[in-house]
């Protein structure tokens, strides 16, 4: 993820004056990057922070990172055992996992039967 942030900073196309997310319906441009921009060149270690030149005006700008984030990440309760957390990382190939407080409420239920084609 750090290398992705460096690409976004270097391109400067996503800089905005407000910390609030831009509304695409209000004439704001959608944030789009080619996936090739995030790939490291074979012969290099990629971009480093020293390669990015930001002006004092750039440093006053904001970047809405919402388009780059997973809107529904994997989460675990704060009291889940380390063994179960380890198994989630191994089985799902996760790079990160959010820990949330235990008291939470159920808002729905999906069963295996719900997923079967009738």
* pLDDT, tens digit, 9 for 90 and up, residues 57-75: 988 888 888 777 788 889 9
Same domain for 20 and 48?
yes
pLDDT tier, 16 (very low <50, low <70, confident <90, very high otherwise): confident
21, 67 contact by CB (below 8 A): no
97, 75 contact by CB (below 8 A): yes
CA distance 104 to 48: 41
Is 38's pLDDT higher than 90? no
- Looking at residue 96, its pLDDT comes to 87
The more confidently predicted of residues 65 and 33 is: 65
State the average pLDDT for the chain.
Answer: 78
Same domain for 88 and 107?
yes
CA distance 75 to 73: 6
Q: What is the pLDDT of residues 17-26, one digit of tens each?
A: 787 766 555 4
Same domain for 64 and 104?
no
- pTM for this entry: 0.49
Same domain for 55 and 86?
no
- The number of distinct structural domains making up the chain is 2
Q: What is the pLDDT of residues 104-115, one digit of tens each?
A: 777 888 888 888
Q: Which CATH number do you get for residue 103?
A: 3.90.1280.20
């Amino acid at each position: 993820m750090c290398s992705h942030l460096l690409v976004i900073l270097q391109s400067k196309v996503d800089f905005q004056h407000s910390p609030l997310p831009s509304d695409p319906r209000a004439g704001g441009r959608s944030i789009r990057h080619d996936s090739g921009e995030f790939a490291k060149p074979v012969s290099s270690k990629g971009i480093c922070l020293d390669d990015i030149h930001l002006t004092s005006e750039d440093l006053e700008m904001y970047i809405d990172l919402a388009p780059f984030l997973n809107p529904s990440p994997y989460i675990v309760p704060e009291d889940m055992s380390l063994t179960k957390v380890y198994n989630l990382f191994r089985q799902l190939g996760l790079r990160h996992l959010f820990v949330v407080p235990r008291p939470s409420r159920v808002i729905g239920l999906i069963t295996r039967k719900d997923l079967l084609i009738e």
